[in-house]
Structure 1
Amino acid sequence: MPAKGNVDSRVTTASAMFAGLAGLAIVANLAVAVGYLAFHDGAGRAAAASSRPVAGALPAPSVATVNALLQRRSRAVLARDRAAFLATVDPSGQAFHAGQQVLFDNLAKVPLSAWRESLADTRPAVAADDGWTARLRLTYRLRGFDRRDLVYTEYLTFDRRPGTGWTVSGDGAAHGLRDDPQIWNSGGLTVVHGRRSLVLAEDGAVDGELPAARTAELRDIAARLDEGVGAVSGVVGDRWARHAVALVPATEQKAEELAGDVRNLGDIAALAAVTGDEGGQGTGEDRLVITPTAFGRLTALGRRVVLTHELVHVAMGGARDGKTPMWLIEGLADYVGYKKAGVPTRAAGRELADLIATGGVPATLPGATEFAGSGDRLSAAYEEAWLACRMVAERYGEDRLVRLYRTAEAEPEDSGDPRLQDRALRSVLGVGTDRFVALWRAYVRRELA
């Protein structure tokens, strides 16, 4: 969710946190993300490229030759055999060879239980005088975190050199072919293991040494994720993986790429995204993408609330859910994030309180349109959703709040039909939409007006 001001990091107690912060949104309302993001397979992002041979182009290697080369690379990655991996790379291209060294060193730090590069298409994406560029299918799995192999697209160029035979000489960049982005494919990588979390970060190391502040920040993220897993399970139960992988890029541009080419993440501190989902079949895994600028502006409490909020999306499938009402998805995430955070209601609901003061209590629950907005109205939509879910928890119990989400999620049709929400409310709470909205409006008025 977009930020609306700078964050005062001088926090010692809950009361001190909010002193002097009139008009600013802090903690979860500062920057949390909707989490409706999914990667595509990369084929649609490639620039147009001809597969027709050109004058001087090398004859294509056999499929067996390329597959054997890729198998050697894959085995070397899993065996952490640097020499064997680099033996597949053309040594004459210094820049590409150096990049492949960095790639291998990064992958050697990652707990991989599977890694395989294979041909996705036996026809070349480009056949030119600089080699034979092919579209590849990369599959991998993180040990202890991924339940299935994740699938991505990448491009490699193969060239034949006297005395060495076919080697990998480049990627597809020279031909406008773009790999699916990975956290480890540019710059150094730092890996931090928590009890239930894994943090993969572009490290920004200077002369091979990571600054102490950066190390502390990454360890803090892992610790807060570990804590958040317990907090989320305490409300929604254990029907989820109960662990998390966080990607921490060094730039906002890289964060946008990792989040699936989402733009303007400068005011979003973190978001949940589905990665490695081949063909949109629901076979990917959830990742948290942490953006450097907005997350860096959060207080310690803010980081705790934001990360817990995003973990709720992971636990409940919010990053892949296309039909549950948005007020339930975001409201439940904020409810769990704020629970036991000691945040005063009027501080957390400031934007909504301001709107009520000028225009009265909203007449309806926030829908997709409100969550697609910006500024104070978007902030108010999150606050409306949070108070709706908090009202359910207080009036009916947390178990029924979670059951309401699960019931709405299980509806077979699209959430745009208001009858689906009404059926879920009647089934779980025994009230229809009209009665529920009336109860919610009265609750909002009592809490904020």
Structure 2
Amino acid sequence: MGRHAAPARRRAAGRARTPLWPFLLSFVLVGAAIAGGLALHQSSTEADEPAKSAQKTPDIDLAARSAAVDKVLKRRAQAVLQDDQAAFLADVDPANLSLIERQRTLFTNLKQFGFAKLAYEQLSQQYDETVTSKYGPSTYLVAVAMTYQIRGIDSVPVRSMLGYTFTERTAGRLTLVSDQDLDKRLPRGSHEEAWDMGEVLVKRAARVLVVVEKGQQQLATKLTGLATSAVKAVSKNWPGGWTGSGVVIALDDKIVRGADYTVPKNAEDALAMATWVYRTLPGEVSGSGERADSYVVINPHNRTRIDARTLAHEFTHVATAPYGALAPRWLVEGAATYVEFLPMDGAADLALGKYRQEVRTKYLAKAKSLPADGVFFQQPDSSYPLSWLAVDYLFERFGGTEVVTLYQELAALGSSQAERDRIMTEHVGLTEAALFRALKTAAAS
């Protein structure tokens, strides 16, 4: 993928923690959107779907149908905000018991999140001959944007996607007959939300929201405590102060939002991933969408290994998510690791001086450059320590305010090596290559 499309899963350090150092085993998932976003794939069985559909159903008043869908979507959003389950289910096919049950669970889940704002908006009609054959000529398969703002969590309204299939079972009334027909066409990372995954339990604290499987109260309480400590640590240690919130999703499902723990390397090595939350969806303004924030998804295989430092690492990714997607990977992961390793309430202080010397001896001495984006996750055992060392040097020499300003500009504009070097020279007087040489010089002295 190009730089404007988000890379896929990130592999972190794949070895166990040592007595000296709680080695990093966490990821940032910088989006997982497919370039093209809202230009969803059309069915391969119909090359000219709109024209053919119009020929098959000449009696359909398209404007009236669109208005009817708008009414259904508005009714469903209001039902959640007003705690009216009957209204939420009113337009669901009563003969489809499994759909009714899924929608009832969805409503119960959505109510727990506490939305300050919620709206559904139809985006574009999709065409699929198989779906039309199943439900009849009045079938309307549509991509839908869900715009929401969780009270006390999202600083701005954000968006995700879903797909609905409607048909006209009685004259003049549309019925929702499926909520799954479009799932495989939707951009990765912009759907499959926590509320879509079956019955969940949502627990809140100040600036924290935790989602677990229904009934897992003990896990929810533990993660809420860890997340609260991590939020405080990032707020204290990230220069300028972070005032955002931490969302932690710890479900049994292996694919949630953009996180995919069915991938063997992810399943084995990753503890958690920070997944993008979109202010604009992929394809609306840019191919990869505009980030507003990130939610953290924990690997169900490694759930017992999560601690406050791991979440502090991930919440640093959350704090920096709005900056953009173009910063070099060594800065992205180095900054998160830098904050993770700082003194934190409730966690033992780490032997930073000893670790710094170990990184210089074990990794820097053998390295030829800072970890490159393309190979960063192929060599995580060295990439993470070297990235931490580089950011540690920048903080020590230039101070936190300058590092954050550098990060912000690189994330927004660092689309090429020339741009990265220009920005770095402007802010710290060093290119990436010169920074690496400075690390070597510091180690020698």
- The two structures have a TM-score, normalised by structure 1, of 0.77
Question: CA 1:332–1:58 in structure 2 vs 1: closer, same or farther (change >3 Å)?
Answer: same
Residue identity matched to 2:438: L
* Cα distance in 2, alignment partners of residues 432 and 441 from structure 1: 14
**Alpha-carbon displacement from aligned partner over 1:60-103 (angstroms, at most 9, x marks no partner):** 57222222222222221221100111121111111111111111
The aligned counterpart of 2:8 is: none
* Cα distance in 2, alignment partners of residues 429 and 268 from structure 1: 33
Matches within 5 A, 1:45-444: 48=44, 50=46, 51=49, 52-53=52-53, 60=60, 62-121=65-124, 126-131=131-136, 132-138=139-145, 139-161=147-169, 165-173=173-181, 180-201=191-212, 203=213, 205=214, 210=215, 214-238=216-240, 240-252=242-254, 254-255=255-256, 257-259=257-259, 263=263, 264-266=265-267, 267-276=269-278, 277-278=280-281, 279=283, 281=286, 282-293=289-300, 295-298=302-305, 303-317=307-321, 320-322=324-326, 324-340=327-343, 342-345=349-352, 353-355=361-363, 360-373=365-378, 377-409=379-411, 412=413, 414-417=415-418, 420-421=420-421, 423-430=422-429, 436-444=435-443
Q: CA RMSD in A?
A: 3.6
The aligned counterpart of 2:3 is: none
Question: CA 1:71–1:394 in structure 2 vs 1: closer, same or farther (change >3 Å)?
Answer: closer
> Runs of 5+ in structure 1 lacking a partner?
8-16, 20-25
CA contact (8 A) 1:198 1:245 kept: yes
Number of residue pairs the alignment of both structures matches = 406
The aligned counterpart of 1:37 is: 31
The aligned counterpart of 1:10 is: none
Confirm or deny that 1:2 pairs with 2:12.
yes
The aligned counterpart of 1:23 is: none
* Cα distance in 1, alignment partners of residues 431 and 72 from structure 2: 62
Range with greater deviation from structure 2 (188-197 or 121-130): 121-130
Equivalent residue of 1:64, what SS? helix
Confirm or deny that 1:18 pairs with 2:28.
no
* Cα distance in 2, alignment partners of residues 108 and 348 from structure 1: 48
> Runs of 5+ in structure 2 lacking a partner?
1-10
Residue identity matched to 2:22: V
Equivalent residue of 1:68, what SS? helix
Equivalent residue of 2:99, what SS? helix
CA contact (8 A) 2:313 2:340 kept: yes
* Cα distance in 2, alignment partners of residues 294 and 352 from structure 1: 33
Equivalent residue of 2:113, what SS? coil
Range with greater deviation from structure 2 (50-59 or 286-295): 50-59
CA contact (8 A) 1:270 1:288 kept: no
What is the CA distance between 1:414 and its match in structure 2? 2.1
**Alpha-carbon displacement from aligned partner over 1:395-447 (angstroms, at most 9, x marks no partner):** 4433443344345446x452422x733x445444455656543331244567x
Question: CA 1:442–1:305 in structure 2 vs 1: closer, same or farther (change >3 Å)?
Answer: farther
CA contact (8 A) 1:183 1:247 kept: yes
What is the CA distance between 1:113 and its match in structure 2? 2.1
Identity %: 22
* Cα distance in 2, alignment partners of residues 158 and 66 from structure 1: 8
Question: CA 1:103–1:388 in structure 2 vs 1: closer, same or farther (change >3 Å)?
Answer: same
* Cα distance in 2, alignment partners of residues 399 and 56 from structure 1: 63
CA contact (8 A) 1:42 1:153 kept: no
CA contact (8 A) 2:227 2:311 kept: yes
Question: CA 1:219–1:158 in structure 2 vs 1: closer, same or farther (change >3 Å)?
Answer: same
CA contact (8 A) 1:274 1:320 kept: no
Residue identity matched to 1:285: A
Residue identity matched to 2:341: Y
Residue identity matched to 2:440: R
* Cα distance in 1, alignment partners of residues 184 and 393 from structure 2: 52
The aligned counterpart of 2:22 is: 27
* Cα distance in 1, alignment partners of residues 356 and 218 from structure 2: 28
What is the CA distance between 1:380 and its match in structure 2? 0.8
CA contact (8 A) 2:291 2:321 kept: no
Question: CA 1:405–1:195 in structure 2 vs 1: closer, same or farther (change >3 Å)?
Answer: same
* Cα distance in 1, alignment partners of residues 380 and 439 from structure 2: 18
- The two structures have a TM-score, normalised by structure 2, of 0.78
**Alpha-carbon displacement from aligned partner over 1:7-55 (angstroms, at most 9, x marks no partner):** 6xxxxxxxxx718xxxxxx6352x1214422435465467646444599
What is the CA distance between 1:135 and its match in structure 2? 1.3
What is the CA distance between 1:296 and its match in structure 2? 1.9
Residue identity matched to 2:121: S
* Cα distance in 2, alignment partners of residues 109 and 394 from structure 1: 44
**Alpha-carbon displacement from aligned partner over 1:81-128 (angstroms, at most 9, x marks no partner):** 001111211111111111111111111111112222232235755533
Equivalent residue of 2:112, what SS? coil
Residue identity matched to 1:312: T
Question: CA 1:433–1:268 in structure 2 vs 1: closer, same or farther (change >3 Å)?
Answer: closer
* Cα distance in 2, alignment partners of residues 291 and 152 from structure 1: 20
CA contact (8 A) 2:369 2:433 kept: no
Equivalent residue of 1:121, what SS? strand
